[in-house]
Structure 1
Amino acid sequence: MTPLLDLEDAQQRLLAMAAPTQGETIAVESAAGRYLAEPLLARRTQPSHPLSAMDGWAVRGADMPGPWTIAGESAAGHPFAEEVDAGRAVRISTGAIVPPGADAVLVQEECRRDGNTLHFAGTAPDPLSRHIRPRGLDFTEGSVLLSAGARLSPAALALAIGGGHGTVPVRRRPRVTILDCGDELRAPGEPLGPGDLPASNGPMLTAMCGELPCDVTRRGPVADEREALLAAFGTADDADLVITSGGASVGDHDLIRPTLESMGAELAFWRVAMKPGKPVMVARRGRQIVLGLPGNPVSCFVTAFLFALPLIRAMNGCTNPLPTAQTMPLRGSLEPVGKRAEFIRARIHEGMVEPLRLQDSGAIAPLAVADALIVRPAHAKCIQNGDDVPIFRLYG
């Protein structure tokens, strides 16, 4: 029997197989969620001129405490065209260019206008430039806005556009084919006979992968027959990644592995020391990676979270594709762990994480309400109420 791989070792082996897809240039407004193929450099300086951070009056600090003669106005998009000379003040709006000669902005609440004369009743800004955003405060032309591999979040899109970009270089969306395998499976909503089950894993995996930049094709249910599996894999020749669910264990009807071997695929590893999800299988078929996940819904979900999603991120060029753990106090207690790492479905409530009562790998109802996985390393000791535990957030 093939020995079990440690989870971390298995993840690193899988990610080492992931070559980023080719780069392409697309409109920045269509790039949400994509990953940069190259560093993104600023094409302009932001702000390009000193700007007022407040509504008020632009003056020379040397003229404090006034009074001043009002010379005009500087509004956003409509700068004051002249230089501010001694004894003159310019009305200024938030985001407007500070006119040449002015080195201070007085907030409007501390000023009083009397006809064409401005009076000041407050304290001079300390420093004088306190309410002025200097040129280049955000970034300067030629500086790195975002590194290669960065994900284009909504804020990153704003940064790219602010930096002068209308298009961005990103990785091509990986092509992913999902095969739902098993004689007992029926398409969603179909009538069920004795021993039949609705094929939920394929739609679940499609939804999980669809939250990342990839083009997903789902096929199945595929029968537990060599010919049916050969035909299904044959339709996925152009896929970068094929994800199967079911058929990857050691039963008489688990035919994924022998079918792949008959097609010339090379087995990379099989069976991981984790619970749920031990029968994870990874193979290479030419340039294509095949990831075989367990058929039990919870095992399928957990292994997709820990293997399939990081792999798709890596194919997109993401530099940190694995999920990030955080710590949270436990509500309840947990028993010691054996030789396999365990992932406990849990709910977060009032700043604590609580294991769900039912942890069976076939139970979909608790999985549907879980919003976290409690991470229990192999050989971990018992955990008491209030102790900190590492968790993965599943959503948000």
Structure 2
Amino acid sequence: MSSKTVILVGGPSKGTRFRPLSLDIPKLLFPIAGKPMIYHHIEAAAKVPEMKEIILIGFFKETVLRKFIEETSKQLNISIRYINEDKVLGTAGGLFSFREQILEGSPKNIFVLHSDICCAFPLKDLLDFHNQHGRICTIMGTEIESKYANQYGCLVRDEKTAELLHYAEKPETFVSNLINCGVYVFSPQFFDVMGKTMVDLRTSGQNINTDYPEITRKGFDSERLRLEQDIFVPLAGTGTISVFPYIGFWRQIKNAGASVYCQELYLNHYAKTKPEVLKKADNIIGNVIIDPTASVDPTALIGPDVYIGPNVKIGKGVRIIHSIVLDQTEIKDHACVIYSIIGWQSLVGVWARIEGIPNYTPFLYSQDKRKGVTIFGSGAQANGEIIVSNCIVMPHKQLDRNYNNEIIL
């Protein structure tokens, strides 16, 4: 049965928490484990049998994504199309507005993925589960620690039938530690449900149903339809949605620092699924990807969980751990980089120490301010023999002293 995939990519106004990195590149193209963030989604979708097309929906200018789409389409041998929203339509509004394009060719299944997540994307297993249970929508859910669950969409699932019984988006009290992963598969009939919901919303003005205060809001725009609150909440318990229990790694990528944690998850996954992409050498520890054009002195010690990008220069005695070092950056002799992202064309001086303080939680965009990944914007420079700890450094800043827990403008 033929399928299509829709990836909801948002737009520039949604990248503010990803600054300063999103000042130079759209968030969805930022490299995690050596590939643009959204490449992992597309690669997984391209492996699904009879995948006919991958559609990106967002409000970036088409020119921003054109090169990536052309190169990725050719590399993975899959048709990729970008649809530009004239205005922000919401997670379901965009799907419904462009339903004719999505349903061209009569696909039997439509995958829908949020772009700001990191996981193994077991789409074939999700599809098999969806077909087995015969409902018009299946949500991929995963269990996390109960103390973090209310920061997500919480799912209550019938353990025998897999039906979604109740959905609560970021509830004030504990509902369930089974959360929405932002990965779905729909049958074409699901668009009919969206259409009916839009009619109900227009008719009622603000409230689709007073039984669901979660979906009540002022200034309601009947075209701006939210998939989670406006669709899943009222459909829960009606026999139309299944929940696929996913056991594996999953994280959201809300802020720039989350990239480091998500990279570790992808690299661990690569060690099991495609170890050939990982660098092996006497000076490499754990899972590391190094671009072939990078120059790394053999006395430097790299890893675990490191990506070194194109045309990077790594000097003698350098130590890099749990970090991302981007294109054309130079790390000079004996410098140390730990839990950090060093932006494009940056410079770290001799014996400098650039470090973040790890904060491993599922809720990655609400970090303890005393902990976090250190981030250098593009062209930032740290003089030799200084320490920069838990800082955000804006592009092209010259650091000539020690900094700790600061945003350096």
TM (norm. structure 2) is: 0.22
- The structure with more radius of gyration: 1
Q: Which has the higher contact order (CA 8 A, sep 6+)?
A: 1
- TM-score, L = length of structure 1: 0.23
Instruction: Compare the two structures and name the one with the higher helix fraction.
Output: 2
